[in-house]
Chain A
Amino acid sequence: MADRGFTIDLPISERWQVVDVLRTAVYQCLAVVFDADSFAEMVSMVVGELVENALKYGAWNGDAEPKGSEARLKIRGLPASVEIEVKNPLPAGASTALLFSMLERIKKAPSPQEAYVERLREVARDATASSGLGLMRIAYEASCALSAQVDGNNICVKALVDMPADAAAIATPSH
């Protein structure tokens, strides 16, 4: 089996434009590693949604406590999956209840698709209810396992995306 091991570890800066640059860069990197464009596209979509959430709900403009805390994106290629981790400082007093309630809904739903479809219906009825749609989308479209952990003033959201059979790594030539 070809070695699929790789690590991408980057700081995330506050600008919104960073999301699309990161998403595109991750797609291009993974398209080199895997012989399946759709898998690279799926992982890059997960990266985009998680980084968007970090930018929307994280502490920015020097508000992070302790000062100097930074947001980071880490992507690791594992033998049969890819792990995406986005860690960012939270604003003082921020509630993470909505995030955990969305993760709970995904777990309790008959399938991630059911959870996402139900959230879409809520969003269709109520324009203010769009929070959490991205998490449900990635659980469904990328069939990934999602988890989150709060550590002091930082939150870390992880997504584990299993490789489909057609995402075999491009063979590494032997030397």
Chain B
Amino acid sequence: MQNLTHEGLEIRVDMGTPGRIGFVWNGRATSKEPGKVLTPFFDRALTLALETGSWIEMHFEDLEHFNSSTIAAVIQFINSAHSRHVDVVMHYDQTQKWQQLSFDALRRALRPFEAISGSSIKFIPVPPRVR
């Protein structure tokens, strides 16, 4: 898979570890219709994860901002991964207040979905010292 660059956002693909597909978010996700770009990108990622038996790891620690339309695309991706039995791990920076609030809400929103059969969804707040 190739990196994605769209408006002020860059998502770097990291496939350096077997069994893991990493996506590192950088910049600002402010697109008007991010789903048009992100949905096909993550559909490809899910297909690849299923083909290779990998889990998906998302890193948001260096993301400066995302708008609510991007949040919508992210939660739809996680739901889709869950129903297709692909494990997802989300890393975020809990020392940034906006990330702490955003990911806390996402984690809470996904709790009922975790009760339904599917893959695991983990949220890992990354302390600054390990960044």
A124 and B105 contacting across the interface, CB-CB below 8 Å: no
Q: Chain B: how many interface residues by the 8 Å CB criterion? A: 28
Q: Is A162 part of the contact surface with B, judged by Cβ < 8 Å?
A: no
**A101 sits at the interface (CB 8 A):** no
Residues of A close to B65: CB separation below 8 A: 23, 45, 48
- Name the residue on B nearest A123 (C-beta): B72
Tell yes or no: A147 within 8 A of B by CB: no
Whether B30 contacts A48 by the Cβ 8 Å rule is yes
A60-68, A84-92, A126-134 - interface stretch = A126-134
Query: Which residues of B73-109 are within 8 A (CB) of A?
Result: 75-76, 78-79, 96-98, 101-102, 105-106, 108-109
CB of B68 within 8 Å of the partner chain: yes
Could you say which residues of chain A place their CB within 8 Å of the CB of B16? none
Q: Are B71 and A137 in contact (CB under 8 A)?
A: yes
Flag if A16 contacts B32 (CB, 8 Å): yes
Contacts of A133 in B (CB 8 A): 68-69, 71-72
**Which stretch of A5-13, A73-81, A113-121, A153-161 is in the interface?**
A113-121
Cα A16 to Cα B8 in complex, Å, equals 12
CB of B21 to closest CB in A, whole Å: 21
Within 8 A of A (CB), among B2-23: 8
The answer to whether A42 and B98 touch across the interface, beta carbons within 8 angstroms, is yes
Please tell me if the beta carbons of B105 and A116 are within 8 angstroms of each other in the complex.
yes
Residue B110 interfacial (CB < 8 Å): yes
B97:A117 contact, CB within 8 angstroms: no
Spell out B's residues near A (CB within 8 Å). Answer: 8, 28, 30, 32, 35, 39, 65, 67-69, 71-72, 75-76, 78-79, 96-98, 101-102, 105-106, 108-110, 112-113
Give chain A's interface residues, CB within 8 Å of chain B.
16, 19-20, 23, 38, 41-42, 45, 48-49, 52, 55-56, 113, 116-118, 120-121, 123-125, 127, 130, 133-134, 137, 140-141
